[in-house]
Every structure is written in C-alpha cells, then in structure tokens.
Amino acid sequence: MEPGMSVVDSAAMRLFLKPGMALMRGLRFRSKIVLMAIVLIAPLSWLTGQALLASHESLEATRLEARGNPLLHLSLDVVAQIQKHRGLVNRQLAGDASVGGELAKTRSDLKAAASALQSALLERPEFELGTLWQPVRQVIDRLVQGEIPGHAAQSFQLHTAQVEAMRALIARTAEVSGLLLDPEGPPFHLMHFSVEPLVAWTESLGQLRGRGAALLRKGEASAEDHAEIVAQVRVLNHVAASAEEIVAALKRSGEPAPEGFDAALASTRDYARLAESTLTAGPLTGNAADYFDAGTAAIGQTLGTGQSAIQRLQTLLDQRADQLQTLWLLQLAVGIATVVGVAYLTAVFFRTSFGAIGALQRSVNLLAAGDFALQVRLRGTDELSVVGQSLDAMTGRLSEMVADVRSNSSMVAQAGLSLASDTKALSERTEAQASSLEQTTASVEDLSNAVRKNAQGAEAASGMAARVQSIAEQGGSAIQSAVTAMQDIQSSSTRVQEIVGVIEALSFQTNILALNAAVEAARAGEQGRGFAVVASEVRSLAQRSAESAREIKSLIAASSQHVSSGVTQIDGASQTFAEIVQGIRDVASRVHEIKTSTAEQSSGLDQIAQAVRHIDEITQRNAQMVESAFKSSSQLSGRAELLSAAVSNFKLRQGSADEAFALVRKAVEMYRRVGPAALGQITDAASGLSDRDMYVFAFDRQGIYRAFAGKTEKVGTSVRAVPGVNGDKLVKDAFEQAAHGGGWVDYDFANPQTGKLGLKTSYVEPVTPDLVIGCGVYKARGTSDTPMLRGTAGTSSPETRRVASAASASLAPA
C-alpha cells in the first residue's frame, strides 16, 4: 500500500480494479493487445473526427462569411447610388435643371450596381435573399427608366423605402452568411460597423443632403422644414457617435480603425455644422449645388471608409480561412498520423513484445530442460529486454554455479577416493599405535607401583623426622627457659649491688654526720661530752657498715660476673641448640617435601596411567572411527559420482573441472603415444581439445607455450604475457604439482570476453620433466580452494593419485 493511502482507499482500489484484472487474467496476450488497441484507437479516432469536424465547420463558416462579405460591398454601392439618385431627383423636382446629365449617369451607375448585386446573389443561392432583393430590383428598374413620382415628398419616400429595404437585405446577408455570429473581435466589429451604422450614416447624410439642397433650391424653408433639418442633424451626429463607439471597440480588439474613418467622421461633422449654419440660421442664402456636392463628398468619404472596412473584413476572413484550412489539414494529418502511429506502435509493440515473450518462453523452456548454454538476446531497453537481460544473467550465473558444482563434485569424488585410501592406511597405523599404547600402559603401571612404595617410605621417614623435630624443639624450649632464669638472676644481682651501693652511701653520710657531731660536741665541752660519745659510737657503727657493704658489694660483683659468664655460655648453647632445631626442622621439611613430591609423582603416574589407558581407549575408538570414515569417504565418493552424473546432464556455457581433466588426460595419452609430435596435434583446431572456454595447453619451465588448442598464434608466446596472469607464480605452482604427479593450480585470469579479472583453476600433468599439459576452467570468486586435492596431489602415493585420476576420468562426460 502506498504511503498516505488508507486501508479503505486500498480496498476500494482493489475492488475497483478487480473486474478489469479478472478480465485481463482471462485473456491471452494477443487478445489483451487487440482490446487495448480498440479501447485506445476507437475513442482517439472519434475525438480526432470530432476535432476535424469542428475545424471544418469553422472553416466552412468562415468561407460562408467570406462569400457573404462581397454582398455587403455591392449592397452599399446600390445604397449609395439610390441615395445619390434620390438627391438628384429632389433637386430636379425642386426646379434645378442642371442635374440632368449627372442624373443620367447616376441611373447608369445604379443599374450597373444593381446588376452586379443581382449576379452576386445568383451566384449565392444558398443565402436565399431573392425574396428581399426582387422588390427592390423592380423599383430600381423603374427608377432607372425614369418612372418617378411627380411630387418631391413621394419621390423622397420611395427612395427612402428602397434604402430601408437594402438595409434589411444587408442585415439578412450578415445573418445568413454568419457575419453576425463571428466569434473573433476584429471581424465582428468590422462587420458591425459595415452593417449597422454605415448605412444609417450614409442615409442620414443623404437625407440631409437631399432635403437641404431642395430647400436651398427653393430659397425658403418653413418652421417644419427647419425642425426636420435639426432632427436630421441630430440623427446624423448620433449615428456618427455610434460608429465612433464601434470603431473604438475595434481598436480595443487590436485592429486599427478603417482607413479614412477619422476623415469621414470629421467631414460628417463639418457637413452637419454646414447644414445647421445654412439651413437653420436665418434666410436660406446658400448654393444648392455646393451644398449637394459637400454632402456627396461626405457620403463618399463615409462609403470609402465603409468599403475599407469591408475590404479589411474580407482580408481577415480570407486569412482566417487560410489558417483554418491549414489547421484543418494539419489536424487531419496529425489525426491520421496519430491513429496510424498508434496502430503502428500497437502493431510494433505487439510484434516486439510477443516476439520477446516468445523468446523468453523458449529460453525458459530450454532452461527448464537443462540447457544453460543458451544466450538470451533481446534488443532494446524496455522491461522485457531488462527481463531478458536478467534471465540471461541468471542463466549465466546458474551455468557458473552448476559448473562449479560439477567441478567441485568431480574434485570431491577424487578427494573421496583419495581420502578412502588414506583413511585405510590411517586405520592400520592407528591399530599399531593402539598396541604400542597397551605396552606403554603396562610400563607406566609398574613405574607407578614403584613410586607408590617410595612414597610410603618417604612418608615413614617424614613421620620420624617430625618426631625428632618435636623433641629438639622441646629441648630448645628448656634451654631457653634456663637462659631466661639466668638472665633473671643476673638482673637480681645487679639490683642487690645497687642496694648495697645505697647502703654504702648511707654509711658514708652517717660517718660524716657523726664526725660533724663529734666536732660540735668538742666545741661544746662538758655539755657535749655525752653527745660526743654517742657520735663516736655512731661513727664506729657507720664505718663497720661501710666495710660490710664494701665486702658485700665485692661478693655480689664477683657473683654477677660469674652469672654473666654463665648467661653468655647458656646463650651460646641456646643458639647452637636453635640451629640444631632449625636443621632438624629443615630436614623434616625436606623429608615432607620428598614425601609430597613422591605422592604427587605417584598420583601423576596414576593419572598418566589412566590417561594412557584413556588414550588407548580413544585410539581404539579412533580406529573404529577411521574405519567408519573410510566407509563414509567411500559413500562420499559414490554420492559425488551421482551428483556429477546428475549435473552432467546440464548443457553449460562454460567448462567444468571433470571436462578439463578429461581433456588433459586425452592430450597426455596422445603425447605418450606419438611423443612431441602430439604438440602440433594438440594445437590443431580439429583435435577436439578445445571446447567453449576450455583450451588444452602445454608450456615448459620457461613459461613458453609449446601447444595451445585451436590458437596457433599462442604457440611460442609466454605465459607471462597473458593479461592478469602472474606468470612466474603459475609456472612455479604448475611444476610443483607436476613434481607430485599432477594437480590443480589456481590463478587470476582476465576474461577475454568481458575483460574482467576472474579466478581460474587448471589441471596440469607432466609429460616430461620440463613440460606440462593442462586445461583450465573458471571458478567463482567466492569458491574456496580445494586443500584435499592439493594434499592429494602433493602428498599421496602414486597409487592414490592413479585411483583419483581414474575416478575423475570416469566422471568426465563423453
């Protein structure tokens, strides 16, 4: 659903389109094209016909106007001659005998004008104007014969009636010719000017001219005559103003005023002023002939501008008729060209589309049949061509994909056979390995038992060392206690020595005091004699205390010295015993470590023995899996053969690996049969060693082509000259594979058709130590290399390579 479209709109649109879609689904493509052509061409033809009909009607209407326009010109001539005849007759009836010659000429001109109009009307019977013209013609014939009323008023009335009849004839002419209905501004205004005010303008001038000339000839005028003259002047000015308004509208429409209009208008107004000044102001003194001539001149100028308007109208009508004729022819040509073009394009569209659809259908049928070699070529840039190009691209990609599948299936088949051979050998080696592992397991178990016994002895030694360490530590603790006790004795001796020192100091002070007391007693004489005796005793006691203190101090000093010496000796013994304890502790730690390591060794050997047993079990299972892999690889090879056989039914645009392998084998067998002469046979296009994009080639270690199927110009050139190819690497890789009996080589290669760099793989096989034969196919850029094949070519035995080659040869199509 489009953005902005509601669900209702979408549902309504589907409902609206449903009948048409059902109809289209039920029709074949041919019927759809025919139906669409009818739906398009039928209304287009009808619209074209309507447009042509409308243009033709406009053209005929314009032509009809153009045929009626000359009647206006001729009718104005007749009107002018009637008006002139009226004026001359009035002058004659008024007694002017000088008008005889001019009257005769006017009657001749009137007859000629009437005859011309008569002929024109006879040429245009479609206008049916005879009923209006014949009465006027009869009166004109009588006037030409001189049959006129004897009274001036009757004559004037008769002539005026004919002028009015001609005005009616002119109006009917404009009506029946379509001039009154002209759709464009300039022609309409010119027609309007020629039909409406022009006759009234000349009639007003003519009546004013005739009445005025008659009054001047009589030389007198009544009040009624003056009133009529004033009324006629007003009518003339009104008619002139109407004509001026029409001309103004004509100018606004983009058309200039008729030639002489301004002069005619000025002449008319001058004549009106002349009539007013001559006929209404006082006695009549003017000259009748001059007055008549002035009116005739004004009428002539008015008729002249009228004739100019009619001529311009005729020119415009003729131009429009030509334009409409050209437009009609152009519309006719465009309409026919459009209808024919639509029919032509429909036919071409049907042919190209039906042909393209047929080609697409045939291509799809061939594609469904497995023919991927077809080339879908639809010329053009339309959607069907794009679909064809997409189908061609899809076919190409499918061909590439099937070619890759076919190549890979061939390579997988080779790899499967090689894998089966290698897994068989691997199975045998795995069984031998399992037997060796059994012996290794037994040896490891014996070693584990011996280490376990060592661990038990180490554990007993560790226990004895721990007990010795405990006894030594207890002895060390006792010695440390003795050291502590001796240190306490030493501290006590030092304290006693300090106390004795204090006693000695007290004895010394007491002796001093006793001495001082004796001195004081001696000074006192008899009074101090008793005190002197006491002081002497005290002094003697102090001296004995001092001596005793000195002896005690000497004894304590000697004892402290002995204690200090004992402490020093005990400290030395304590340090020595501590070293002994530390040594015993180290021995115990080492013995414990030996025990731990031996236990770990025993545990590790147990784990090794268990691991070896596990490896033995795995090896046994591996042997079973290798046997299963051998069966699977055999099945893989068989399925690859089936896949290769299935895809070999497809007809491809490009070659596949099995085909390239088969071509190489064919060329190698040819070389082995005939030797170097086979190189020329390989190059020969009739050798059958080139197919689509596969070409068997042979080059030496220098990279020089010695053979190239179907392309003699390649022989003698270097691999290094091939666009996009790394020649040195290709030669190196090719001879590396050749050293192992042959194999596949991948390299970049510029496609000669597209010029694009692609990936190519070639199977190469040696025929001499310095010459290889190969053939390549294109690979998809995303396709991974084939390490199994590379390994096969590089490491397998010759017997394995022979089996793989035979398998590939069996997979290659005939």
Specify whether 214 is located in the same domain as 259: yes
Which pLDDT value is given to residue 718?
Answer: 92
Q: Which residue has the higher pLDDT, 370 or 119?
A: 119
Average pLDDT, the chain: 79
Give 285-308 pLDDT, tens digit per residue.
Answer: 778 888 888 988 998 898 889 888
Query: Tokens representing 799?
Result: 């017997």
Instruction: Kindly report the CATH number assigned to the domain that includes residue 537.
Output: 1.10.287
Query: Tokens representing 226?
Result: 């003056």
515: left (phi over 0), alpha (psi -120 to 50) or beta: alpha
Residue 52 covered by a domain: no
Task: Count CA atoms closer than 13 A to 227's CA, side-chain side.
Answer: 3
**761: which strand partners?**
746, 777
Q: Is the pLDDT of residue 789 over 60?
A: no
Residue 537 covered by a domain: yes
Out of 269, 285, 316, a domain closes at: 316
Sequence-separated (6 or more) residues with CB below 8 Å from residue 95:
217, 218
Which pLDDT value is given to residue 788?
Answer: 38
Specify whether 469 is located in the same domain as 569: yes
Residue 53 covered by a domain: no
Radius of gyration for the chain, computed over Cα atoms and rounded to the nearest angstrom: 74
**What is the dihedral sign for C-alpha 104, 109, 115, 118?**
negative
Specify whether 490 is located in the same domain as 630: yes
* Segment 417-431 mean pLDDT: 69
In angstroms, the CA 661 to CA 644 distance is 13
Which pLDDT value is given to residue 807?
Answer: 42
In angstroms, the CA 808 to CA 786 distance is 15
Task: Count CA atoms closer than 13 A to 69's CA, side-chain side.
Answer: 27
48-52, 481-485, 779-783: range with highest mean pLDDT = 48-52
Give 754-766 pLDDT, tens digit per residue.
Answer: 667 778 899 999 9
CB atoms within 10 A of CB 289: 16
Give 313-328 pLDDT, tens digit per residue.
Answer: 888 888 888 888 888 8
* Segment 26-53 mean pLDDT: 81
Compute CA 541 distance to the chain's CA centroid, rounded to the nearest angstrom: 133
- Going by C-alpha positions, the residue among 252, 365, 239 that lies closest to residue 302 is 239
For the chain, what's the residue count? 814
Give 206-246 pLDDT, tens digit per residue.
Answer: 888 888 888 888 778 788 888 888 898 999 899 899 889 98
Residue 146 covered by a domain: yes
Specify whether 611 is located in the same domain as 462: yes
Query: Tokens representing 633?
Result: 């690889």
Residue 531 covered by a domain: yes
Out of 122, 154, 175, a domain closes at: 175
* Segment 460-489 mean pLDDT: 72
Q: Which of 86-95, 525-534, 592-601, 781-790 has the lowest mean pLDDT?
A: 781-790
Residue 37 covered by a domain: no
H helices then E strands: how many in the chain? 17, 7
Query: Residue 480: in which H helix or E strand, if any?
Result: helix 383-524
* Segment 447-454 mean pLDDT: 72
Place 771 in a pLDDT band, splitting at 50, 70 and 90: very high
Compute CA 418 distance to the chain's CA centroid, rounded to the nearest angstrom: 50
Q: Is the pLDDT of residue 799 over 60?
A: no
Give 380-389 pLDDT, tens digit per residue.
Answer: 777 767 777 6
Percent pLDDT > 70 in the chain is 82
Give 667-714 pLDDT, tens digit per residue.
Answer: 999 999 999 988 988 998 888 888 888 889 999 999 999 999 988 998
- Going by C-alpha positions, the residue among 362, 586, 572 that lies closest to residue 486 is 572
Instruction: Kindly report the CATH number assigned to the domain that includes residue 735.
Output: 3.30.450.20
DSSP code at position 219: T
In angstroms, the CA 97 to CA 91 distance is 8
Residue 350 covered by a domain: no
Specify whether 156 is located in the same domain as 202: no
- Going by C-alpha positions, the residue among 15, 14, 27, 125 that lies closest to residue 67 is 125
Specify whether 613 is located in the same domain as 720: no
Q: Which of 561-575, 579-593, 633-647 has the lowest mean pLDDT?
A: 633-647
Which pLDDT value is given to residue 256?
Answer: 92
In angstroms, the CA 238 to CA 232 distance is 10
Place 808 in a pLDDT band, splitting at 50, 70 and 90: very low
Specify whether 423 is located in the same domain as 488: yes
Place 108 in a pLDDT band, splitting at 50, 70 and 90: very high
Q: Is the pLDDT of residue 630 over 70?
A: no
Out of 299, 316, 333, a domain closes at: 316
| Three-class secondary structure of residue 52 per DSSP | helix
CB atoms within 10 A of CB 502: 11
Specify whether 673 is located in the same domain as 779: yes
Residue 165 covered by a domain: yes
Q: Is the pLDDT of residue 784 over 60?
A: no
Q: Which residue has the higher pLDDT, 112 or 566?
A: 112
Query: Residue 709: in which H helix or E strand, if any?
Result: none
Number of separate domains in the chain: 4
Specify whether 414 is located in the same domain as 560: yes
Which pLDDT value is given to residue 717?
Answer: 93
Which pLDDT value is given to residue 581?
Answer: 67
Specify whether 167 is located in the same domain as 198: no
Contact 451, 598 (CB under 8 A): yes
Give 151-191 pLDDT, tens digit per residue.
Answer: 878 888 888 898 889 888 888 888 888 877 888 888 888 88
**Predicted TM-score of the model (pTM):** 0.47
Specify whether 207 is located in the same domain as 166: no
Which pLDDT value is given to residue 685?
Answer: 82
Instruction: Kindly report the CATH number assigned to the domain that includes residue 266.
Output: 1.20.120
Terminal alpha carbon distance of the chain: 55
Place 641 in a pLDDT band, splitting at 50, 70 and 90: low
**771: which strand partners?**
700, 768
Specify whether 633 is located in the same domain as 658: no
Domain limits at 89?
69-175
Q: Is the pLDDT of residue 809 over 60?
A: no
Q: Which residue has the higher pLDDT, 48 or 605?
A: 48
